[in-house]
Structure 1
Amino acid sequence: MRKPFLLFLFVFGFLTFSIAQKKKITLEEIWGGEFRTEYMDVLRSMKNGKQYTILNFNRSPRSSSLDKYDYETQEKVETIVTSSNEVPFFSSYTFSEDESKIVLATEIEPIFRHSRLGIYYVYDVATKNITKVSDTKVQEPLLSPDGSSVAYVLDNNLFVLDIASKTTKQITVDGKKGSIINGVTDWVYEEEFAFVRAFEWNSNGTKIAFLRFDETNVPLYAMDVYGQNLYPFQQEFKYPKAGEENAKVSLHMYDVASGITSNVDLGEVQYVPRIKWMNDPSYLSVQTINRHQNHLKLHAVNATDNSVSVLLEEKDDAYVDITDNLTFLADDSFIWTSEMDGYNHIYLYGRDGKLKNQITKGEWEVTNYYGYDKKANKIYYQSVENGSINRDVYSISSTGKNKKRLTLREGTNAADFSADYTYFINTFSSAIMPYEFTLHKASNGKKLKDIKNNSVLDNKLEGYELSPKEFSTININGNDLNMYMVKPANFDESKKYPLLMFQYSGPGSQQVANRWFGSNDYWHQMLASEGYIVACVDGRGTGLKGRDFKKVTYMNLVKHETEDQIAAAKKLSNLPYIDENRTGIWGWSYGGHMSTNCLLKGNDTFEMAIAVAPVTSWRFYDTIYTERFMRTPAENPGGYDDNSPFNYPELLKGKYLLVHGSGDDNVHVQNSMRMIEALVQANKDFEWAIYPDKNHGIYGGNTRLHLFSKMTKFVKENL
């Protein structure tokens, strides 16, 4: 009986010694870039299907180059262009359709989340000549298919530059800040429909379709910018809050030869979330959706006479999601993804809009559509068929037969296919493996070559005290919810540990996923090394478990999600190694709303919460996002007010840290100011911090380091 005990002491002692020799992650390392991950930046397949391009950067000296590689050999074929005295440092690139010209982006300046201003150049691949698009910073330059012209937006107007003659033609003249926008989207479209460029060339470059936004009657939001000068100033932009007036959007067609712009009558429309030309240069597809976002129409516009017909309609009791999966095949039949059978799947429609067949089926979700290989009659896609926390790449015929799993490693797989679908480059990561890039044969998924990995990072992390994410499910309110838990490296089941829960919880989101670390994961590892258990539970309303699971929160955002987090915390507190008197929760944005609600409505369960940039009333948030899930405040006042935490500040018992950036254009600091005032009037003790001029991401310089230092101190003192 003595030997096993001695062996246990030896092993336990060895493990303790090993852990003791390893370093603990520090905040300075997390936010100083010590764990930076290598990627294949801006990967694009060449039209020949044999080669691809990558944007490579050198940090010292600062330079960038656009390099071409061979798929089969993985050798660099050539450097197409590199930054120099003639070509400024560039951070992005876009080819013309015929690959004769390249737009290079320089001096990029962010506007909002997706929009950018920049100085752009057109590089001629054959002659190596370079043409400056404009001396003024512009938005969204787009080359014509033959590379002869580039269209762009300047001061809310649309322009076209003829590259050979270097002459510029102004297409619209009514653009005006705060009133009329041509060719790019307004704030709410950019944020919630996730696109900025609102113009497109047709396939032969004879026409440009564009959207015009009249935001004259949209309410104005103003933020104080404190800056470095004697007086602050106000940044003003149009922001339609729930129930308020949206911009009036209209569709227009510009004929390049005649220079004439005509109007397209779409009837009474609220939103136009996508426009996309078909392969036939005479036809444009337009998606429109009503204000409730539960009735979507796909229109075909004949560009010769601007006549409009409806190709398909989709309705839902809750809402219809907008995606970028619409793909026109050679004959303009098209691929469409939909949740109409309860799960997101791929459908094939004829050019006339009639359904040919449902291609994928099952109680799992398609998460990405990659394309169609006509020669092999194969459709390529990504799905969660192998478990909702994993991603795999598959092929299937257009008839829905001959499905093949092309990736075999459990984790998150994503593919970038060559233009002729001979190869794909797989990006793989898991909770224990940083990103790896490998070349595969598209026909059967066979791995051909290793391309790039993060072995340097992996080896570096061997010297740190890390704990694995333990994936499981937890049954809460009748649902098996995905969960992960991170325990201290020297975890002892006979001890009791404080529990910190992390979540986001927004509709269709996912935090519990088998993929490599983000910055929050490194922070959680640091806390685990300090003796905390970190857990994350994806409750009702999150994604990839079917339409009904996701849309159960319709009309009552945060209600069911809060109930699930409170119930999960109670259940976890029953574990013998969890200290039921030391339970905290934190989150950012939607997650900040959640953590606030959990601390108040679950004041017998949570002792501490941190809320970063939280929504505190959906009345303060924008039309498109909020009304998609809640309808308008006039239609659903209880849905808006019953879960707004500043309506019940008296429920606060635990320790609360509230953080916001004063320059947050997305979730306005108004949300936190109202929460602060409510807590003050309820005479509740809490901590708060405002980061001057910082946006929703609260970053820049030492900002993130300062923020997470404050959060770490708060956790250690109160949990």
Structure 2
Amino acid sequence: MIHLKPFVLLLFIFCISLNVLYSQRPSIPTDKDYQRAVSFDWDSIANQVYHLAVTPIWFDDNNGVAYHTLSRDGHQYYKISFIDHKRKPAFDNKKFSSAFKKHTGIDIHPANTELKNMKWKHLNEFTFELNGKQYEINVRNYKIKTLPSTTEIRDKGRSLSPDGKREAFIRNYNLILRDKTSQSEKALSQDGNPSYIYGSNYGWDQLMKGENTPPEPNLNIIWSPDGNKFLTQIMDSRRAQKMYMLNYTIDTLYRPELLSYFRGSPGDTTVVYYHYLIYDATTGQATKIDLPPVPHFMDDLAGYGLKWTTNGQYLYATYNHRGYQQKDVIRIDATTGRVETLFTDKSKTNIDYLTRFQYVDDAELAFITSEKTGWKQLYLINFETGQTHAVTQGEYVVKDIKAIDTKNQIVYFTASGKEIDFNPYYDLLYKVHFDGSSLQLLTPEKLHHDIIFSPDHRYFVDMMSAADYPTFSVLRRASDGKQVTVLGKADIENLLKKGWRYPEVFTATAQDGKTTLYGAMWKPTHFDMDKKYPIIDYTYTGPHMNVFPNTFRRGLYGLYNSAQALAELGFIVVQIDGMGTAGRSKAFHNVSYKNMGNNLLDHTLAIRQLAEQHPWIDGDRVGIFGHSAGGYDAAHALLAFNDTYKVAVSESADHDWRMEKAWWPEMYVGWPVDEYYHNHSNITMADQLKGNLLLIHGGIDENVNPSATFKFSEALIKAGKDFEMFIVPSMRHPVPKSYYPYIRNKRWKFFVRHLLEE
């Protein structure tokens, strides 16, 4: 019998254990593996899937619908008459080709050509655009004619009244009104200057180049329907502070170009303000609207903008108060500028970013959603009486207003979470009378339903799907939801032949020990349950949205359009909606208020539960990737949750909310700015970094200024922390398509190096 010394025995056991451990790991990706991963990226998948969606073209006479789809046989065009509800080819391809060649001399085939901007007058006649020209064809006799161009080169610097009699424009920062017949001009203001511009707004992504450059005026005028008045504003930047960037990429310059823009940060008062005015086009007299100056980041009055009533007597809008804890529905007297509040919603946290509001002009009423009961429900506001009543009631979430039938006093809306045993992220269509009676479900299938209504509210297209159910599109009757015509089903045969499989939906238990969370996971197509795979969290915990893939399209592409592609390299990729995200109850949503630094807590719990349930998930090798608010999550994971996360790629991140655009943090982190901003800043927490971090940012990102990434990197250096940083000098906030492969590969290889190779 051989007796081993204790040290040798321990070494032997260690080597055997190490061999077992590494034998369980997925293989290091080869060039062939990377090529396969690329074949599952979003732009590759897009060319292998057909009929993902239907965009209906309703006939002008309301007697039918047409649509175009891309199939494996090329472009297909169909039409349906509401008389027999039968789907038929929209036209005869051979006859169409012959007629078009005879008329233009150009040889085309509809299967190989997309006819753009199709508009159907009735069952047998439609217009379309091809090669920049407009045509009209009758598909009964196949007579075709070229239409005169209706494309006008719009002068953005001039605004024409609805009757065409007057035009308004900005000259030397003042507003001028010109009579189109006599060409006489009237100056409507005289004290305008580069910091006080009449008739202008400030564009969200508008940049100023060079030092001390004032903003270019952007004419913004909304005429009353009769053309007698118009709404505009003064753009007041007298006290506004700028944010700055440097563009190093201009070939003809040998020094960086200075770029600046106005963008208020949380708590700032030194921002661009708008002073709203109503002008009488006949007299030139200005009437001030009785509102305080509005910060430009709330320039649409934080909802649906000021709009005219048909009679031109009033304007109406939703109006958020700064801090987003109060939202009003207001009506403005166009003669006096007096503001009347018709509805007020208040919250101790915030008013839902996804509030829906729709005014019905011919009925003097409006519908709005509110979470005042703890669940987002639908309310009716009577503009004549000022009274409000609940149209829906219950513990579910009204998502969107889809159609309003004033004749029959019925409103159609989507909602989630109402039906028992349905996924709470699936939207279903309902109808209800204005008084709240006769609530009826119109789409009973246990799937998500994307809905598009006909203008006369008699029919709707329903694109039903789920992450594991390809899109199935039908035409339904609005009166009872009955399916009258099948429009098609997504064709994924090419993907299935490549080995692609549906993402797997899973549930987990949240931080409160009782709430069910939902997520999805993507496995490699070469999945081997005897291996142990690292897991990567695709994250975006911004409270204004959710990432659960409730549709087939979202399941196909994943959050960042590459979930399956990344999985192909030997990872399990997951998307999780923790408490604090949108689409559930107000209590669920409120978890993130002044608490966004803890948004990943539920992710860590879900990952732990998945690792306990599945021996092929390696809970000790966890990565995370996110863009924008997801980028904050990714970096924050290695600061606050580094007992779970080991590798992070943080892209275009808002590392410190104090350096962000104002509206988003003020809505979710609170206003005025307090110590929470400081305590949960990635910059403040830089000395707590543990793990492998890659920072990516665009050099001219005006949405999330790169200064926070630079400041974060400086703090990491001062703390002696090792990390990598990659700046794309000419990139703004979205990753440009031309640079996407390079940036994607950088991200992929970082995960491979630190989760598979080490």
Select 1:65's aligned residue among 92, 116, 123.
116
Moved more, 603-612 or 660-669: 603-612
Using the alignment, how far apart are the partners of 2:277 and 2:687 within structure 1? 54
AA at the equivalent of 1:638: E
Structure 2 gap segments, 5+ residues each: 1-31, 76-107, 136-144, 208-217
Cα deviation for residue 233 of structure 1 reads 1.0
Letter in 2 for 1:372: I
Partner of 2:496 in structure 1?
Answer: 462
* Contact 2:195/2:235, CA 8 A, preserved across alignment: no
> Helix, strand or coil for the counterpart of 2:244?
strand
- Indicate the SS of the match to 1:650: helix
Q: Secondary structure, in 3 states, of the residue corresponding to 1:646?
A: coil
Does residue 229 (structure 1) correspond to residue 252 (structure 2)? The answer is yes
1:77 counterpart (122, 125, 150): 125
Deviates more, 1:385-394 or 1:202-211: 202-211
Distance 1:579 1:698 in 2: 31
Matched, 1:564 2:587: no
What residue number does 1:341 align with? 373
Q: Does 1:625 align with 2:625?
A: no
Alignment check: 8 A CA contact 1:175 1:182 kept: no
| CA drift at 1:170 | 8.7
The 5 A counterparts of 1:468-617 are: 468-478=502-512, 479-515=515-551, 516=553, 517-518=556-557, 520=559, 523-559=562-598, 561-575=599-613, 576-617=615-656
SS in 2 for 1:235: strand
By relative contact order (CA 8 Å, sep 6+), the higher-ranking structure is: 2
Tell me by how many angstroms 1:352 deviates.
Answer: 3.7
**Which residue is equivalent to 1:249?**
274
Sort the Cα spacing of 1:482 and 1:167 in 2 relative to 1 into closer, same or farther, 3 A. Answer: farther
Note if contact 2:274-2:293 (Cα within 8 Å) is conserved in structure 1.
Answer: no
Distance 1:76 1:599, change over 3 A: farther
C-alpha distance 631-581 of structure 1, shift in aligned 2 (>3 A):
closer
Contact 1:607 1:654 in 2 (8 A): yes
**8 Å CA contact retained: 2:42, 2:557:** no
Runs (5+) with no aligned partner, structure 1: 1-20, 89-124, 191-195
Q: Is the 8 A contact 1:145 1:203 kept in 2?
A: yes
Q: Is the 8 A contact 1:40 1:54 kept in 2?
A: no
Q: CA deviation at 1:51?
A: 6.0
CA–CA distance in structure 2, aligned partners of residues 587 and 683 of structure 1:
24
How many Å apart are 1:50 and its aligned residue? 4.1
2:240 to 218, 225, 228: 218
Change (3 A) 1:493 1:81: closer
Shift of 1:365: 0.9
1:304-349 Cα distance to aligned partner (Å, 9 max, x none): 3333322122211112235452322523122111111111111112
> For the structure 1 residues 242 and 409, does the alpha-carbon distance in structure 2 shift closer, same or farther, using more than 3 Å as the test?
same
How far, CA to CA, are the matches of 1:160 and 1:79 in structure 2? 37
1:301 aligns with 2:332: yes
Deviates more, 1:535-544 or 1:350-359: 350-359
Q: Which amino acid aligns with 1:500?
A: I
Whose Rg is larger? 2
CA distance in 2, matches of 1:658, 1:708: 13
Q: Provide the C-alpha distance between the structure 1 equivalents of 2:224 and 2:448, rounded to a whole number of angstroms.
A: 36
Point out the more displaced range, 680-689 or 319-328: 319-328
CA distance in 1 between counterparts of 2:247 and 2:699 reads 8
1:290 aligns with 2:321: yes
Aligned to 1:6: none
2-side partners of 1:169 and 1:434: how far apart? 60
Equivalent residue in structure 2 for 1:180, among 189, 193, 197? 197
For 1:7-18, list aligned pairs within 5 A: none
Cα RMSD over matched residues? 3.9
Shift of 1:199: 4.3
Which residue number in structure 1 is paired with residue 401 of structure 2? 369
Cα deviation code 1:274-320 (max 9, x no counterpart): 21223442111143332222122222212133333221222111122
1:263 aligns with 2:285: no
Distance 1:278 1:210, change over 3 A: same
Number of corresponding residues: 645
- In 2: Cα distance, 1:370 partner to 1:410 partner: 20
| Sequence identity percentage | 24
Q: Give CA deviations for 1:589-643 in whole Å, capped at 9, x if unaligned.
A: 11111111112222222111111111111110122221122234xx443211111
Letter in 1 for 2:261: F
Matched residue SS, 2:595: coil
1: distance between equivalents of 2:312 and 2:475? 35
- Deviations 1:420-465 (Å, cap 9, x if unpaired)? 111212233321345554322211222233446543xx22212222
CA distance in 2: counterparts of 1:643 and 1:176, whole angstroms: 41
2:96 corresponding residue in structure 1? none
- Against the structure 1 CA distance between its residues 336 and 678, is the aligned structure 2 distance closer, same or farther, given a 3 Å change threshold? same
Question: 2:696 matched to 1:659?
Answer: yes
**Does the CA-based 8 Å contact 2:225-2:312 persist in structure 1?**
yes
Moved more, 298-307 or 45-54: 45-54
Residue equivalent to 2:83: none
Flag the 1:657–1:131 CA change in 2: closer, same or farther, 3 A.
Answer: closer
- Distance in 1 separating the partners of 2:343 and 2:659: 34
2:450 match: secondary structure: strand
**CA contact under 8 A between 2:632 and 2:650: conserved in structure 1?**
yes
Deviation at 1:694, TM superposition (A): 0.6
Name 2:343's counterpart in structure 1.
312
**1:99-498 counterparts in 2 under 5 A?**
128=148, 130=150, 132-134=152-154, 138=156, 180=197, 182=199, 184-187=201-204, 199-226=221-248, 227-231=250-254, 232-245=256-269, 246-267=271-292, 271=298, 272-273=301-302, 274-321=305-352, 323-352=355-384, 354-384=386-416, 385=418, 386-435=422-471, 437-451=473-487, 454-455=490-491, 458-478=492-512, 479-498=515-534
Q: Give the Cα–Cα distance (whole angstroms) in 2 for the partners of residues 344 and 466 of structure 1.
A: 37
1:552 to partner: Cα distance:
2.3
Cα distance in 2 between the residues matched to 1:330 and 1:352: 12
The one-letter code sitting in structure 2 at the alignment partner of 1:291 is R
- Rounded to whole Å, the distance in 2 between the matches of 1:163 and 1:64 is 37
Amino acid at match of 1:233: E
How big is each residue's C-alpha offset from its partner over 1:76-129, in whole Å with a ceiling of 9 and x where there is no partner? 6311555536x79xxxxxxxxxxxxxxxxxxxxxxxxxxxxxxxxxxxx99846
Structure 1 window deviating more from structure 2 (160-169 vs 315-324): it is: 160-169
CA pair 79-676 structure 1, distance change in 2 beyond 3 A = same
CA distance in 2, matches of 1:588, 1:655: 17
Aligned to 1:594, the other structure's residue is in SS state: helix
